Amino acid sequence: MFKILIVEDDQTIAKILSENLNKWGYESTYVEEFDLVIQKFRSYSPHLVLMDITLPYFNGFYWCSEIRKESNVPIVFISSNTDNMNIVMAMNMGGDDFITKPFDLSVVVAKIQALLRRSYSYMTQVTTIEHRGAILNIGEATLTYQETKLDLTKNEFRILQLLMEKKNTVVSREEIMKKLWDSDCFIDDNTLTVNMTRIRKKLEDIGLEQFITTKKGIGYLISD
């Protein structure tokens, strides 16, 4: 069952959205403490986020950028701020779609269905990849090891996915960069080095030492 997090400070709208999404077979919840949005996101691990722009403490753009630091989960902005600047800002901050208030609930559901279908179509195929007790969840873009779940950025997830899919094979830096470029992620040689350093640090923090081996002058390897 897909989980949807609603970040909307009008509690009446939030409840209406949640109730209707539940009727359509989704699991949903909404934020009530707006200084703790990222904590709610981490604990709930949603498959999609509905995000208002005007919120207490920090606006939706801020929370979108915070989520994007650690997850590629689809984010749909819902707002009455419908001038072009806000729509462009929403997309530039990492949003995947924009719904104008007041909205038709059937339109909201249709957009959610389409976005979930595009984002998680591969879930009907391989959903996890396992190595040395570490489980990469394809649908959630997370890695779990000994009951610790690690949230990954879009680049980190795609790099790990490629290396784990080609286990016991050296993957060149050029091949990794091509995969990320093909996925519309801007990345160059220096950016790849930074991403690999961050991945290794995250893996070491949860006890996965030397999970990725560097083959100097060739590329990277995950091996048995």
All structural domains of the chain with their residue ranges: 3-123, 128-221
**Mean pLDDT in residue range 56-75:** 88
Give the pLDDT score at 124: 46
pTM over 0.95: no
Contacts of 52 (CB under 8 A, 6+ apart): 7, 8, 9, 10, 60, 77, 78, 79
For residue 189, pLDDT over 80 is answered with: no
Burial of 124 (0-12, 13-18, 19+ CB in 10 A): exposed
For residue 186, pLDDT over 80 is answered with: no
Give the confidence band of 86 by pLDDT, cuts at 50, 70, 90: confident
* CATH code for residues 128-221: 1.10.10.10
- Whether the ω angle into residue 102 lies within 30 degrees of 0, i.e. cis, is yes
Domains 3-123 and 128-221 in one fold: no
Q: Which fold has domain 3-123?
A: Rossmann fold (3.40.50)
**Mean pLDDT in residue range 79-100:** 79
